[in-house]
A and B are shown apart, each in its own frame.
Chain A
Amino acid sequence: MIASDLLKGTLRTIVLKLLADNGRMYGYEMTKKVEELSAGKIKLTFGALYPVLHKLESDGHIITEEEYIGKRVRKYYSLTEQGRSWTEKKVDEFFEYVSTLTYVLNPTPV
């Protein structure tokens, strides 16, 4: 299980990357997908997920489509053009961060 304070800064990047790889997704699907990809180590709570989704939507990085499932509405999220290029940037930044961090935490002797 990965501590939630470690996840905090990366949640947005995870969400963006999920949408870039899978096209449109709804919230529950995302939590399931992340759980599956991380072999159960990362559990997105909806308390953390939905504020991020709504913020990304209001910033124009993602859009929603609504579909009726029985009597309830399901909201599918997908990237906008702007969101797509932003995702690339964010993912690159993240990999750079991870490799830097690996280097810092694991310095190889000269």
Chain B
Amino acid sequence: MCSTLHLSDMIAEVIDQNIDRIKGDLSKSGLTYDRLQDDVLDHVCCMLEEELESGEDFESSYDKILDFIGNKTLENLQHQTLLLLDKKFQSMKNFTYLFGLTTAIIAIIGALFKRMHWPGASILLAVGIGLVLLVFLPLYFVINYREQTEKKNPVYAIVGYFTMATLLCAALFKIQHWPGANVLIETSIVLLVIGFIPLYVVNAFQKVGKQKIGLPYVVMVLIGAAVLLTFINVNMSKDLLDIYKDETVINEQRIEMIQDRTDKLIAMTNDTAFANVEESIMKIHSDATALQMMIKDMQNEMLVYVKQEGTAVGDLNHIDNRGAGREAIVENGKGGNFARASLKYRIMLDELIENPIAQSQIFDHLDFTGNVWNYEYGINDVKHDPLMKNYFKLSDASIGIALSEYVAISYLLHQSFE
């Protein structure tokens, strides 16, 4: 009994002699917050007491305990404790995850709306993705950075932010048909594959067992789902382009048919009976032919732009190219020339044809020269629309011209009979 008391007194004395050294070691390994340091100092001393009571000497006991604690544990302990106590940080964290959840849901609903072609889809998508981009992601990566203890490294957060940001921008640009979408998609894929994914995997493995990983992962998965859903919409627009392609093939067949019939009518004008209208018919035909040439020229230029000159419509590739319309129709002024020439053609037909029924038929066929061409299919759309849509619109205009030519000529012939 007496010797045990004596032993514990000795142990207490040895520990007290070394107390400043232990304290210094704790500070050196990153444990500087005094209230926590008191806890750990007592804890370590208790462990020492136990070791010393079993007969070990101080140095080997202390080494054993330091070994047991490990290299980075203390620094990490202090970091986690201070973060837990930091109410501002905690509420920022909660806010961020709630916010991420909300915006991801908005974006997913937007993608659904877009798919269903319900009104408001674009606004929902833009708001959802915009908020993720400008609010959620920056906060998410700031939190991620602040929670890192070992080798605090901003590379992951920065690469992560830029990858997610370009990915989301790319998806948004693509479905809104804004220019530059393709460049963004390529950039984001490169960033994703060589930057973000490797870093994310490494980071996730480092975190396992240290922090709760539930909610952030759920949020990231939801945002990923939003991106995927928006890309499904992109594929839909690809399907739409295939429809344009099929329609263009049909349009071209119809144009040929109409022109055949027009040629037959024109052949009849050789008859002297039609001498009085021959001049008008020839004028109409040559103007219509000139317009058709302009269309062919623009269509051809688009194919030159994507290096597919002379390819039949049915075999075209790169039908989603968004530079062809700008190059072949807008910037060289050919589209403008065509719009003006077709308006002149329409005015000329209006003067030559007096019958109101024929007039209204012609008016219908040349609708594109007015509202359709200028507003619905305005210059900005031509600039950014995919190649196939522009090609289709031109073939539509071509049908209009061919039909108006046929109607006008047949009316004039009819009229000269009476």
B151 close to chain A: CB less than 8 A: no
| Binding-face segment, B31-39, B299-307, B323-331, B349-357 | B31-39
Residue of A nearest to B80 (CB): A51
Distance, CA A27 to CA B44, complexed state (A): 10
For A51, what are the chain B residues with a Cβ–Cβ distance below 8 Å? 77, 80-81, 84
Residue of B nearest to A31 (CB): B43
B209 close to chain A: CB less than 8 A: yes
B144 close to chain A: CB less than 8 A: no
A108 close to chain B: CB less than 8 A: no
* CB <8 Å contact, A53 and B77: no
Partner of B42, one of A4, A47, A53, A72: A72
Which residues B84-113 have CB closer than 8 A to chain A? Answer: 84-85
Q: Chain B 22-57 against A: per-residue CB contact (8 Å), 1 yes, 0 no?
A: 000000000000011011111101110000000000
Which residues A1-53 have CB closer than 8 A to chain B? Answer: 4-5, 8, 26-28, 31, 46-47, 50-51, 53
| Binding-face segment, B11-19, B277-285, B340-348 | B11-19
* CB <8 Å contact, B42 and A74: yes
For B43, what are the chain A residues with a Cβ–Cβ distance below 8 Å? 27-28, 31, 46
For B46, what are the chain A residues with a Cβ–Cβ distance below 8 Å? 28
Partner of B47, one of A28, A72, A74: A28
Partner of A28, one of B38, B42, B73, B85: B42
A70 close to chain B: CB less than 8 A: yes
- Min Cβ gap A83→B in Å is 17
Interface of A is mostly: helix
Distance, CA A72 to CA B20, complexed state (A): 10
Most buried by B among A31, A46, A69, A75: A46
How many residues on B have C-beta within 8 angstroms of the other chain's C-beta atoms? 24
A58 close to chain B: CB less than 8 A: yes
* CB <8 Å contact, B212 and A50: no
A89 close to chain B: CB less than 8 A: no
Most buried by A among B39, B76, B77, B81: B39
* CB <8 Å contact, B42 and A26: yes
**Interchain Cβ contacts under 8 Å between A and B, 9 examples:** A4-B209, A8-B212, A28-B42, A46-B43, A51-B81, A51-B84, A53-B39, A54-B84, A55-B84
Distance, CA A54 to CA B33, complexed state (A): 12
- Min Cβ gap B25→A in Å is 14
* CB <8 Å contact, B38 and A73: yes
* CB <8 Å contact, B39 and A27: yes
Residues of A within 8 A of B (CB): 4-5, 8, 26-28, 31, 46-47, 50-51, 53-55, 58, 66, 69-75
Most buried by B among A8, A72, A73, A75: A72
Partner of A72, one of B19, B76, B85: B19
With A50-B81, A51-B80 known as contacts, the answer to whether A70 contacts B16 (CB < 8 A) is yes
* CB <8 Å contact, A58 and B77: no
- Min Cβ gap B415→A in Å is 89
Given contacts A54-B36, A75-B39, 8 further A-B contacts (CB under 8 A): A50-B40, A51-B77, A51-B81, A66-B38, A70-B19, A71-B16, A72-B19, A72-B38
* CB <8 Å contact, B19 and A50: no
- Min Cβ gap B40→A in Å is 6
For B15, what are the chain A residues with a Cβ–Cβ distance below 8 Å? 70, 72
For B39, what are the chain A residues with a Cβ–Cβ distance below 8 Å? 27, 46, 50, 53, 75
- Min Cβ gap A19→B in Å is 15
Distance, CA A74 to CA B39, complexed state (A): 7
Distance, CA A50 to CA B40, complexed state (A): 8
* CB <8 Å contact, A50 and B47: no
Distance, CA A75 to CA B81, complexed state (A): 16
- Min Cβ gap A91→B in Å is 22
Most buried by A among B40, B76, B81: B81
For A46, what are the chain B residues with a Cβ–Cβ distance below 8 Å? 39-40, 43, 77
For A55, what are the chain B residues with a Cβ–Cβ distance below 8 Å? 81, 84-85
Distance, CA A51 to CA B77, complexed state (A): 7
Residue of B nearest to A46 (CB): B43
Residue of B nearest to A3 (CB): B209
For B209, what are the chain A residues with a Cβ–Cβ distance below 8 Å? 4-5
For B42, what are the chain A residues with a Cβ–Cβ distance below 8 Å? 26-28, 69, 72-75
Distance, CA A51 to CA B36, complexed state (A): 9
For A72, what are the chain B residues with a Cβ–Cβ distance below 8 Å? 15-16, 19, 38, 41-42, 45
Partner of A47, one of B12, B16, B35, B73: B73
